Structure formats: C-alpha cells, structure tokens
C-alpha cells in the first residue's frame, strides 16, 4: 500500500485528488493540507511514501515543503504539481530533490501511474528536461573559480540577478519564499566576494562576456 500526502490550496482540486487516490486498491491518502505551513507540520508526523505537492501556495511553495520534508526523510518521494511548465519551476523542483514534476492538466490515470512510479524510487524527470536543467546549472561555470563555490540554486539566482530581477521576482520565478531568496543572495555575494547586487550583476555579465569571446 502506497501512503500518500496531498497538498493543494484549492479545496475542489485537493478533494478530487484524494478521491482519485483513495479509489485505488494499492494506495491511500493518509494526510492532507492546504498551506505550506500545514503541510510541514502534518506531513512531518506521518510515515509517507509519496507527497503530492502543489507548487504555488498562498503562504509559500511546494518546493520549499519538498526540501523541508526530504531533509528529514531523504527517502520520501515528492511529486510536484504545477499549472504550467517552465525551466525555473523544473530547476527548483529538481534541486529540492523532487522525484517527479507533473502538469495539473494530466489525466487521472497518468497521475496515478506517476505516483506509482515515484513510489518505487524512480524519477519522472525526462532525459530532455534533465538536460535543460544541467545546462542551466552549468551556464555560469566559466572562468572564475569562485563560481564553483555556488550551489545550483545560488547559480540560478545569480543569473536572475544579472537579468535585473528583484528578490520578489526571483522568488516567484524560482518558487521560493522571498526570505529564502534573500538568504541565498547574501550567501552568493559572500562567495563571489562582492558587496552589492549591482556588483553581482556586473560580475556575471563579465563572465558571460568572457565566455562569448572564447566561443
């Protein structure tokens, strides 16, 4: 029996997922939540196999919930649900340790199969999607050894700083809490030895310029 936790802030969607999962002989819903805070509290107390997590939540992100739950139970399979596909969402999910990433318009049978797949320890991230994520993570790994000190999330955030995005805009793009982005920014500034976002933007622009000259 696959024990599943469901997180979605929309009542109708959440109850629909619960009904769908509970209709199966090999899986059951053992907990539910509508906010990130509820999910962290409730899911942490349960012995789960799979957590089905909505990415966008009113008080945060399912990606943050995934990261928190897996820090306590690395074997937990998190299946992310989102309304649309983009590389930022995929990068955020993969770096948080999610086992799969499903668009909400997926058919019911496909979602059930996705739950079964990640419950076995397999990944639902396609080779093509994985390739795009690796490319995104590697884009800033040129020339300066300080860049090697950055985590995948920090490299992605540095790229967005270079594009002129604010912490709030980065939080939206990366499906992170704004406070979390602020902490990442402080960390990456220290690692690349600059003192402001402007200097960071100039730093990454210079790295790209050098790469383009060599290409």
Question: What confidence category does residue 140 fall into, taking pLDDT thresholds of 50, 70 and 90?
Answer: very low
Span 103-139, pLDDT tens digits: 888 889 999 999 999 999 887 765 566 666 656 655 5
What pLDDT score does 78 carry?
A: 94
DSSP notation for 103-129: ETTS-HHHHHHHHHHHHTT-----HHH
Span 64-107, pLDDT tens digits: 899 899 888 888 999 998 876 666 677 777 777 888 888 888 88
Span 6-63, pLDDT tens digits: 999 999 999 999 999 999 999 999 999 999 999 999 999 999 999 999 988 888 889 8
- Residues contacting 213, CB < 8 A, separation 6+: none
Question: What confidence category does residue 214 fall into, taking pLDDT thresholds of 50, 70 and 90?
Answer: low
- d(C-alpha 53, C-alpha 80), whole Å: 5
- d(C-alpha 55, C-alpha 65), whole Å: 9
* Backbone φ, ψ for residue 2 (5° rounding): -90, 120
Question: What confidence category does residue 186 fall into, taking pLDDT thresholds of 50, 70 and 90?
Answer: very high
- d(C-alpha 155, C-alpha 110), whole Å: 33
- d(C-alpha 13, C-alpha 112), whole Å: 15
Within the chain, residue ranges assigned H as helices are 11-22, 36-43, 62-72, 87-95, 108-119, 127-138, 152-162, 167-174, 178-191, 197-214
């Amino acid at each position: 029996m696959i024990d599943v936790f469901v997180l979605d802030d929309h009542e109708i969607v959440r109850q629909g997922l619960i009904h769908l999962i509970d209709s199966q002989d090999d899986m059951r819903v053992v907990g539910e939540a509508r906010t990130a805070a509820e999910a962290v509290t409730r899911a942490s107390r349960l012995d789960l196999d799979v957590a089905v997590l909505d990415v966008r939540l009113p008080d945060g992100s399912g990606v943050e919930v995934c990261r928190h739950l897996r820090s306590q139970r690395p074997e937990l399979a998190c299946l992310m649900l989102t309304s649309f596909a983009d590389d930022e969402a995929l990068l955020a999910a993969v770096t948080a340790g999610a086992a799969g990433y499903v668009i909400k318009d997926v058919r019911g049978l496909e979602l059930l199969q996705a739950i079964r797949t990640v419950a076995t320890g397999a990944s639902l991230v396609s080779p093509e999607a994985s390739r795009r994520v690796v490319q995104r993570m590697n884009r800033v790994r040129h020339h300066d050894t300080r860049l090697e000190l950055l985590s995948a999330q920090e490299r992605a955030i540095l790229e967005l700083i270079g594009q002129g995005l604010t912490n709030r805009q980065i939080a939206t793009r990366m499906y992170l809490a704004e406070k979390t982005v602020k902490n990442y920014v402080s960390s990456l500034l220290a690692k690349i030895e600059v003192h402001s976002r402007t200097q960071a933007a100039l730093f990454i622009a210079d790295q790209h310029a050098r790469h383009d000259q060599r290409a």
